[in-house]
Structure 1
Amino acid sequence: MPEISRFFGIVIAMFYDDHAPPHFHVRYGNQKAIVGIEPLGLLEGKLSPRVLSLVMEWAARHQSELMDNWQRAERYAPLKPIPPLE
């Protein structure tokens, strides 16, 4: 699972040739979730309110880059790193 960003201990990744709808994976300690890109929203799993808030803020700022990486992953093209939340 290629990592595309990491901030505050939160790891954001995407799988190549993953199933629709467009989404990314989040790991934070023992917490795991799948977050949809368009529209932004929690699809599966559970994150603490603080972590979910940080992830959604980051994703809103980078939604177009996330969609670009989703399309790259579908083609097995290298994924581009996305700047972390600061």
Structure 2
Amino acid sequence: MSPTIHRINKIKISLNENDHNPPHVHVVSPDFIVLINIRTCEVFKGQARPAQINEALTWVKENQEWLLQEWEKRGK
């Protein structure tokens, strides 16, 4: 299980140690699992309706620099 770095209601956002490229976060809810590319702020794996994922996308955009630093620290 990935360590949760942020929560938005029932949505968990996490970064894995030594994960594959591209730099990304895992966004998990009871209804979906998606991977969001940190650099492009786009979903590249999985599916969710825009209404379900917009808050997570906004958070990733607002924290993009920090997330990329964390990605580097965690092994990639």
Calculate the TM-score normalised by the size of structure 1: 0.81
Unaligned runs of 5+ in 2: none
Map of 1:54 onto structure 2? 55
Once the two structures are TM-superposed, the CA of residue 72 in structure 1 deviates from its matched residue by: 1.2
Considering only aligned residues, what root-mean-square deviation do their CA atoms show, in Å?
Answer: 1.2
Map of 1:37 onto structure 2? 38
Map of 1:70 onto structure 2? 71
Once the two structures are TM-superposed, the CA of residue 2 in structure 1 deviates from its matched residue by: 1.1
Task: Flag the structure with more relative contact order, 1 or 2, with Cα contacts below 8 A and sequence separation at least 6.
Answer: 1
The answer to whether the 8 Å contact 2:8/2:55 transfers is no
The answer to whether the 8 Å contact 2:10/2:29 transfers is yes
**Count of aligned pairs between the two proteins:** 75
Calculate the TM-score normalised by the size of structure 2: 0.90
Unaligned runs of 5+ in 1: 76-86
State the alpha-carbon separation in 2 of the partners of residues 30 and 41 from structure 1.
Answer: 18
Partner of 1:51, secondary structure, is: helix
Partner of 1:46, secondary structure, is: coil
Amino acid aligned to 1:34: L
